[in-house]
Chain A
Amino acid sequence: MNLFRSEEHARNWQGYQEGAAAGLQPLSAIAAIWGADRYRERLNGHYVSSARDYLPQVAEITARVTGGNPFWKR
């Protein structure tokens, strides 16, 4: 999971796989997914106990920002 200067740079990277093109996302999508409670609630003091509760929301956000692409299905 890496950041690149642009889509062109990501596609030019030696680790890029054409079959996994859906793994390429704008920064706004990455910030939205990693803004879900699964990531923002880590300091709440009961994170391990609650971790499973966060899955539906992160799945919903992921589906929304990736257009429901099956690559991103969790």
Chain B
Amino acid sequence: MADRDLLDRAFHRVLLTFIERGSAPHYTELARDFGLAPEAGRTLLHDLMAAGIPAWLHPSTELIASFAPFNNLPTHYCVSVDGERKWYAQCGFEAAAMCWIFPGKTVVVEAPCLDCGEPLRLTMRDGEVLAAEPETMVGYVSLPPKEWAQDLAFA
């Protein structure tokens, strides 16, 4: 297992890469950033994903599928920051945490309602809900939090 300092730096690097380009880094990029051989970068990625964070790899690959609050595969939670649309939220609840990744900026989450397909639009900045359209918007999860870790992708 990589030491905690390296895991901290790798975690930070993954988020910064998402912020910059809207997608996750490959483990070879992590390796290069930290002066490691590719195989050591691969091990670092696996250690990071096993560190108890809400993130997972795409099945049968070594590609980051999801890394909260981001998703590397498009979800129906499309995120725009100051008018630039290039990110996806891991889920509807993590969409509400996306504003902490972009401090001081206006973050807009747009999604279809899973019941009717009509649009939802959530605007936040620094934790404040600036607008919710419609104002009656709610969140729902069928799995209690103590069970989320057993199947993060389902939760």
Chain A residues proximal to chain B, CB less than 8 Å: 1-7, 9-10, 12-13, 15-17, 20, 23-31, 33-35, 39-43, 45-49, 51, 62, 71-74
Contacts and interface: CB of A to CB of B under 8 A. Distances in A.
For chain B, the bracket of interface size reads 35 or more
B150 interface: no
B102 to A, nearest CB: 10
Contacts of B40: none
Contacts of B139: 1-4, 24-27, 29-30
B66 to A, nearest CB: 12
B91 A1 contact: yes
Given A17-B142, A48-B11, A48-B53, A42 B101 contact: yes
A7 B113 CA distance: 11
B101 A7 contact: no
Interface of B: 4-5, 7-9, 11-12, 15, 48, 51-53, 68-69, 77, 91-97, 100-101, 109, 111, 113-116, 118, 120, 122, 124, 127, 129, 132, 134, 136-146, 155
Contacts of A31: 96, 124, 127, 129
B114 A48 contact: no
Nearest to B140: A10
B96 A46 contact: no
B127 A35 contact: yes
A51 B155 CA distance: 20
A20 B100 contact: no
B122 to A, nearest CB: 7
Contact of A51 (B12, B52, B77, B118): B52
A25 B136 contact: no
Given A16-B142, A20-B142, A74-B145, A2 B4 contact: no
